[in-house]
Every structure is written in structure tokens, then in C-alpha cells.
Chain A
Amino acid sequence: MNEHSASDPVYKTDALIAEDIVAYLELHQNKGLLRFITCGSVDDGKSTLIGRLLYDSKMIFEDQLATLEADSKRVGTQGQEIDFALLVDGLAAEREQGITIDVAYRFFSTEKRKFIVADTPGHEQYTRNMVTGASTADLAVILVDARKGVLTQTKRHSYLAHLIGIRHIVLAVNKMDLVDYDRETFDNIVEEYTAFASGIGIEKFTAIPISGFKGDNITQAPSDNTPWYEGPSLIQHLETVEIANTAAQARTFRMPVQWVNRPNLDFRGFSGLIASGEIAPGKPVRIVPSGKISTIKSVVTMNGDLDRAVAGQSVTLTLEDEVDCSRGDVIASADDPPQVADQFEASIVWMNDEALIPGRAYWLKLATQTVSATVAEPKYEVNINTMEHLAAKTLELNSIGVAEVTTDRSIVFEPYEDSKALGGFILVDKITHATVGAGMINFSLRRAQNVHWQALEITREDHANLKNQKPAVLWFTGLSGSGKSTIANLVEKKLNLMNRHTFLLDGDNVRHGLNKDLGFTEADRIENIRRVGEVSKLMADAGLIVITAFISPFRAEREMVRAMLPEGEFIEVHIDTPLEVAEARDVKGLYKKARQGELKNFTGIDSPYEEPEKPEIRIDTTAMTPQEAADLVVDKLLGGG
């Protein structure tokens, strides 16, 4: 069974270990590291292949082997022979426990390299898991069953691997033993795959006929059964393919700053992982986005200062000049710095049960920068089986689309195809903190490049000082009919009598003008609040006390407005009226209409209201009169209590 066994020279040799351990260790101190992903379903023999790689490289110990042999006889699918798949699956046990493995990482090594394999079994959640596993991989092994040829899923795996930027694709035509090692079968599959691959932009790939079960062309090639095959074995290929990290060294220098190291007044270092290029003392650098220029003074490590450092190393840099530089900035070569923009076109993979809500603010993390960002309605969604572009309003779990992304401030970036480190980002839900999406920047949008922020001489402080007041936004939120407008009006009257400069933005009124193009869908409601937020911000900049009265049912949008304003200026006022009370009042007759189905998306009836968790002010309208409520709001605003 085991014609290419563990005694093959590619694996660690017991003889050398036993004879001269020091020589062996020296040899192994300097191995390279390759990360790859295997794509295929259980039927393609993926688990068998990984199991064999672990087994052949002796990453399996005797006690595990004993279990494996017993399990193979008990539940294996290979008769009395060892079923390698059991090594990595453990699926039966896991299913019993109701646990799904999503991405598991396996390790093995040969004489030349150490390997980390991302293993993403199962069909469920396939896109999400494969993209996660592929994001750190240099190479993808696409498994094809020789009996079945190129299938829809082969195309899907190849598309995803290409999308995530994997430059080395191996087409492993497996189960050759079941087609009598027939050359024509192999050639036909390669031909079909070539046609498909070039259509989606995969320029080159390496095709290898293998048998994971029998071991053909895994460690040595050609195997006796495939004398016609002239290429490398799978392991030989994995041992020699170029590592992405090495390729990154050839590009211009960039290092996103993670942390500023200041042990005392005499030392100020900037710590980070070098994303591309190399650096040495004396090299001129530019801090982006500020554009300040300086020169590298030293490359500091605990083992002594370095003469140079390259992509993939974590270092601490000191500069010749005292320039401003903090987490989120990128230190780059002075003559070729990366771009800065706040609007992009990006490919986005959605990873959450709750679909993308266009217009909603999410956290976007790119390298060491975290900003607030919104995603527009997708330009299109990609059918990952046919690569067709489909019209889409949103992105559901496991779907992939292209959309415009807008950040609340400019960020340093590079297109993903130039730099994974500066072009890949994750999106994080602001309320649940889940990682909901991953994105890859295609390019920045022209309008962001050409619209610059104009620095103004009269500042918001000047405006406020003239009015002798502190600007604020009193944000009233609550159900329809809760009493927001009534109380907001009373508050403005009181403030007006006290010579305060105020402005009241009322939900119904704004919809007659500024927002008359918007309806009541979730996306429109978000845009409604975004515009009101921006207008409130302008008015607060002008020194006014702004009072708004909007249902504003979603927590995320209220937090979005809060984030637009300086700390302490956004005062959330929850007009807390139970639904039954508001419905009983029904001043405008809207609840009745909603109950009869004449009004859709009505908050509290068929659209949710997310209560504020920690409003600055909460008004229980069942416990106080509108006048008392207004007094309370004014007291809190002016008293600061």
C-alpha cells in the first residue's frame, strides 16, 4: 500500500537524527515556510490527501497511529488498509457533538520547508471558510476527481482562490488509480481547466496527476504508474514554489505603524510588521497621510540593531527627526508613498447571517487603521458558480459583490492586487462586534481624490464663542406618537427664552424638503438619519444647539451620528413610551393604518425599534408631564448633570 513511505528523502531522516543531531538541527534551522490551502469536498479525497501528507512526514505519533489503525478497521472506508481521511476528519465524532469545523490548520514539514495547511471541510459556509483560509495562503491545491473532471465546484474554488489573490494554483487530478492512470483522461481535464482558468484571469497553474490513497506523485515523480508524466511531484512543487513574502520584498517599502514605543524621553520608536520592500538606516521615508519626511536612524531589535530589514519582519524603527507619527500611519519610502483616499471600489465577501445594509456605518479595519465606513448598494453580485454578474440590493451570507465604500476619514491604502496588507480590510458590526465582511480594494474613486478638505479660518469654537454657548445636539428618539415633537418644541421654547441659539429639526418637516426623495425602507431610513446627522453637525459647527425629533429606530445609525460629533456634544434623549400607550394615543391615526396593513415598515408594528442602551437622558412619559420632561432636558443640558 505504502510504496512512497516515510523513508523518502524529502522527509526527516531518522538516520541523520540518530547519528548527528546537531548537524540535523542546523540544516533545519533555515527552512522556509509555505502556507497553502486545499480545496475540494470530501468526495475529492481531500482529507485522504492531507492525512497522507501528515502521515508521510511523520507528523503522526504512535498513539495517534494506533487509534487510526483501530478506527480504520472499525469505520474506515478502505477495508483493512489505513484510511488517512480519519486523521483529519474526526467528522463523525464532531457531528455527534454538533460542532462544525470551519477552518482547521495542520502542520507538516519536509527537509526543505515547513508547511501550514488551511483545511476547510464541508459544503456549508464554504465561501466564508475558504476565503478565510485562503487569505493567508501562498498557494491553493484544487482537487479534482479524475473520474468526474472539472465540476462547478472546481470553478468556484478556482474563482475564490484567484479573487483572494493566490498566485500559485495547483490542479491536483486525484484518484488516478481509479481511471487506470490513463494519460488521456488527465490531458482532457487539463485542457478543459485551461480554457476555464484563462477566462477568469488565472494565467498559469501546475497540473499533477496523483493518487492520495495510493501515493502516486505525492513525494516522487513520476510514479511507476504514470511514466508519461514529466512534471514535479506535489511535494517537490510545494518545496520550490516562490513564497509570496519573498515577492513582497521586491516592492517599495511600507510599514503600517502598530504601536509607538516610548520607554523614556530619549527613545521614540515605531513598531510594525514590514508589509513590503526593505529598509535600512539612512533611507529617507515619508509618514503617510501627513506627508512629513524624515530619515531612518536605526532598526532596533532586542538582539541588536539591524543593518537592514525586509518584508515579513516585525521591527521597531527610529527616525532622525521628531515628526508626528502614531498607530494607523504608514511609514513608506519617501519617493513613492501609497495613496490616500476615502472612497473606493471594493470586492466584498459577506460573512454574516444578517445581510449587508447599504448605508449603515460599520467599522472598517485596514492594516492598523480603524475607521467608520459605509457600503453603497452593490453594483453587482457575482454568481460564484457561473461568474455571472447579477443585480443586487444587498449581499447575503456567503455572497460576493462589488460596491463603493466610503470612509469617514481618508485612509492610506494600495489596491489589493498590489498589496494584501494595504488593500484587504474587514468590516465589523458596531453593535454586535462580529466580523461581518471582508473586502479587497480595487481602486479609489476619482471624486475622493479631487475633493480636498478646505481649511477654514473661522473655527467652530469662534462660532460658539460669539453666541456665548456650548453647541450640542439633543437627539430625541422614540416610537411614533411617543411625544418627541411635543417635548422637543417645549425644550426649544424654554431655551429661546433663555437667549440660547437653537434650531429644531423635525422628522415630518424634513421629509417635506431635504429628504422628500426618501421612503421608509430600511436603506432609506438610514439615509434619512445620515442626512439629518450631517445637517445637525453643520449647525453644531455653526454654534447652535440643535434639537432633533426623529423615530430613528436603529441603534447603529444613532451611534453613527454620535460618532460625527465631538465627544459630549451628542445627547441622546430617549422618549420612552410603551407601544400600547403610543398606539392608544395614535394622534395621527398611523397605528390604525399600520395595523390594517395600509402602511408598511411601521416602527413597532412590522419594523423593529432598538431601544437606546445608555441614553444620556431617559424620559418616562407615563411618569411625567411634557412640561416636566422639558424642564428635565434643559436642566441636564445646561447643568451638565
Chain B
Amino acid sequence: MQRLTHLERLEAESIHIMREVVAEAQKPVMLYSVGKDSAVMLHLARKAFFPSPPPFPLLHVDTTWKFQAMYELRDRMAEAAGMDLLVHHNPEAKERGINPFDHGALHTDMWKTEGLKQALDKYGFDAAFGGARRDEEKSRAKERIFSFRTASHGWDPKNQRPELWNLYNARKSKGESIRVFPLSNWTELDIWQYIMAENIEIVPLYMAAKRPTVERDGLLLMVDDDRFPLEPGEEPQMRSIRFRTLGCYPLTGAVESEAATLPEVVQEMLLTTTSERQGRAIDKDEGGAGMEKKKQEGYF
């Protein structure tokens, strides 16, 4: 008798989900955001189809405002996996010069929400893998692993298909598409443990180092390039910081930390008491229903 550990069972489940999608969808794609969850998802995809490369491309819906370190890792990981990397920039957002400093919520809406819809429509993908987990947030806890979107990419939480055993119904009506979440049952700690167990490369920004920072509206922001508009007299300060989640650098708050290795990061995570998404500005809009509302509008 061989007792499987929780990580082995989570891995087996995620791989099973990915293979079902490849067997049943016509044109799948993996959304790749370069964060730690994406890193785990990509690693699982490589394991699922080994020795073949994963039989679908990676899609990065880019905002042009990610950390430089993310772009660097993104290109390298796609190549190592032997997968095509598609990068989409919303042309309208580009033309209008939408940016996080001047446009606030519109920045996320146009680059990410609209950009994602555009990219999926442009390539005609009918199933898109995403790295969301159920433990992240209230509305995710009740979302199915195979989650359907209407032709306009909306999510209808009241009209979800029952999902029994490990039998996934991937049949869709015309115009519908599927978001598939193979990491649904992983927790943040599982992700970290798996990264360590499997030696998965992640963006170094997750580990503490001295970086140039300024403080804005209670968030500690990193000055990642010279597009960061400094206020008169404002001087970036070198602080030892790390990031718990990664997004657009002007919207992602860092935490002051000395945790420079993976075990130290996990140690800090286990001993801290603020939930993961708190460093992100996005969930704070529209009260507690922020994420749910965004998802109904087509945000991943």
C-alpha cells in the first residue's frame, strides 16, 4: 500500500483535468500571467503531456506594465516548455495610452478584461486554462473547475452545471467558451510546497532583496522603470521588500521583508495574518463583491 500525499493527489487531479480538456476541447490555450500559480500550472502541463510538449500555446494578456523580471522569465519558460507564446496587447489601450497612474480602474478593465476577450476571440480559443484557486476569494470558492462563459464572456454564477466525481462536461453551445481551473483545490501553502518539492523557477521578486521603493496611498510600490512619475521631491528609497502577488508594478504593493529564500518566504506566510490578495488594489473596488462583479463582466 502506498499512501499518496496531498500534493501527489492534487497533482494527479490537475493533470487529469488538463488531459480532459485536451481530449475534448477544439482549441485550448493556457493563460500565463508569470506569477507563482502560473508557474505551477505550466509545470503541471509539462508533466501531463511529457514527453510531448503541452499541445496548446501560452497566452499572456499583457498590460506593458508588468515587472521587467516577469517579462524575462516569461520568455525563458515558454521556450523551455517548447510552447508557442502569444502576447496580446489591447490596441485601443495602447493607442489611448492607458496607464495605471492616470487611469485607475480603467487600466485593468481595458488592458486585462477587454484585452483577454479580444485575444480569445481573435484566436478562437474555446477553452482557456487559468491558475485561480478556490481558497483565494469568496466567489472563487463556488466556481466550478470547468466554468462556462457566454459569447460575451460573462459568468453566470446562478447557472452553473453540476460537477460530479471527476467527470467534466466540456460540451458548449455556439459562442460559449470555457475557463478551466486545474488548481481549484490547491491552497496557497500547497503552491509553495509544490514549488519547493519540484524545484520550480519563479520570479525572484517573490524573495526579499533591496529594491527602490516609494510609498503611495498606504501601498509600498517598487520603481521598476523610469515611467514611474515621481512627485516633486520624491526620492525612491532602497528597502528590503518582496511581493506576495505579482501584477502591474504600479498597482502591486510590496511587503517589507528579509525572507530571501523559499523556506523563509513560507515561514513568513505561515506566521503572517493578512490574506493574500490584500496587496492588490483590484479587490477593494465595489466593496466585498468586487471580484464577483469583475468576473461577471468577463475578468478571468
Chain A residues engaging chain B, CB cutoff 8 angstroms: 12, 14, 17-18, 21-22, 24-25, 28-33, 59, 61-65, 90, 93, 97-107, 109, 113-114, 116, 128-129, 131-132, 135-136, 245-246, 249-250, 258-259, 261-263, 267, 269, 271-273, 278, 300-303, 308, 310, 312-314, 316, 327, 351, 363, 365-368, 420-421, 424-426, 428, 432-435, 438
Q: Is the CB of B12 within 8 A of A273?
A: yes
Given the known inter-chain contacts A64-B275, A99-B158, please indicate yes or no for A246 contacting B1, CB distance below 8 A.
yes
A-B contact pairs, 15 of them (CB 8 A): A25-B193, A29-B193, A59-B135, A62-B274, A63-B274, A102-B160, A105-B134, A106-B141, A116-B185, A135-B165, A302-B47, A312-B12, A313-B8, A435-B163, A435-B169
Contacts beyond the supplied A105-B142, A421-B166, A435-B169: 12 A-B pairs with Cβ under 8 Å? A17-B270, A29-B193, A29-B197, A59-B135, A93-B289, A97-B292, A105-B185, A273-B15, A300-B51, A310-B2, A312-B4, A314-B19
Q: Is the CB of A433 within 8 A of B171?
A: yes
* Chain A residues whose CB sits within 8 angstroms of the CB of B22 once the complex forms: 259
Given the known inter-chain contacts A32-B3, A424-B164, please indicate yes or no for A300 contacting B50, CB distance below 8 A.
yes
B: contact size bracket: 35 or more
Whether, in the assembled complex, B26 has its beta carbon less than 8 Å from a beta carbon of chain A, the answer is no
Report how far A314 CA is from B182 CA in the complex, Å.
14
* Chain A residues whose CB sits within 8 angstroms of the CB of B196 once the complex forms: 25
Report how far A33 CA is from B172 CA in the complex, Å.
32
Q: Is the CB of B4 within 8 A of A17?
A: no
Given the known inter-chain contacts A33-B6, A93-B289, please indicate yes or no for A302 contacting B164, CB distance below 8 A.
no
* Chain B residues whose CB sits within 8 angstroms of the CB of A351 once the complex forms: 162
Report how far A135 CA is from B134 CA in the complex, Å.
18
Report how far A166 CA is from B209 CA in the complex, Å.
50
* Chain A residues whose CB sits within 8 angstroms of the CB of B165 once the complex forms: 135-136, 420-421, 424
Report how far A106 CA is from B263 CA in the complex, Å.
25
| Minimal Cβ-Cβ distance residue in A for B164 | A135
Q: Is the CB of B47 within 8 A of A17?
A: no
Contact of A302 among B5, B46, B274 (CB under 8 A): B46
- Within the complex, the shortest CB–CB distance from B175 to chain A, in Å, comes to 12
Scoring B10, B12, B20, B135 by chain A CB atoms within 10 A of each residue's CB, the highest score goes to: B12
| Minimal Cβ-Cβ distance residue in B for A309 | B2
Whether, in the assembled complex, B157 has its beta carbon less than 8 Å from a beta carbon of chain A, the answer is yes
| Minimal Cβ-Cβ distance residue in A for B162 | A132
B257-290: CB near A (< 8 Å → 1, else 0) gives 0000001101100111111001000000000110
Q: Is the CB of B51 within 8 A of A263?
A: yes
Q: Is the CB of B164 within 8 A of A105?
A: no
* Chain A residues whose CB sits within 8 angstroms of the CB of B4 once the complex forms: 32-33, 245-246, 310, 312-313
- Within the complex, the shortest CB–CB distance from A490 to chain B, in Å, comes to 35
- Within the complex, the shortest CB–CB distance from B141 to chain A, in Å, comes to 4
* Chain B residues whose CB sits within 8 angstroms of the CB of A263 once the complex forms: 51-53
Q: Is the CB of B6 within 8 A of A128?
A: no
Whether, in the assembled complex, B227 has its beta carbon less than 8 Å from a beta carbon of chain A, the answer is no
Contact of A245 among B9, B160, B164, B289 (CB under 8 A): B9
Whether, in the assembled complex, B114 has its beta carbon less than 8 Å from a beta carbon of chain A, the answer is no
Report how far A365 CA is from B50 CA in the complex, Å.
26
- Within the complex, the shortest CB–CB distance from B164 to chain A, in Å, comes to 4
B217-229: CB near A (< 8 Å → 1, else 0) gives 0000000000000
- Within the complex, the shortest CB–CB distance from B266 to chain A, in Å, comes to 7
B182-219: CB near A (< 8 Å → 1, else 0) gives 00110101100100110000000000000000000000
Whether, in the assembled complex, B105 has its beta carbon less than 8 Å from a beta carbon of chain A, the answer is no
| Minimal Cβ-Cβ distance residue in A for B173 | A433
Report how far A400 CA is from B4 CA in the complex, Å.
34
* Chain A residues whose CB sits within 8 angstroms of the CB of B171 once the complex forms: 363, 428, 433
| Minimal Cβ-Cβ distance residue in A for B4 | A312
- Within the complex, the shortest CB–CB distance from B64 to chain A, in Å, comes to 31
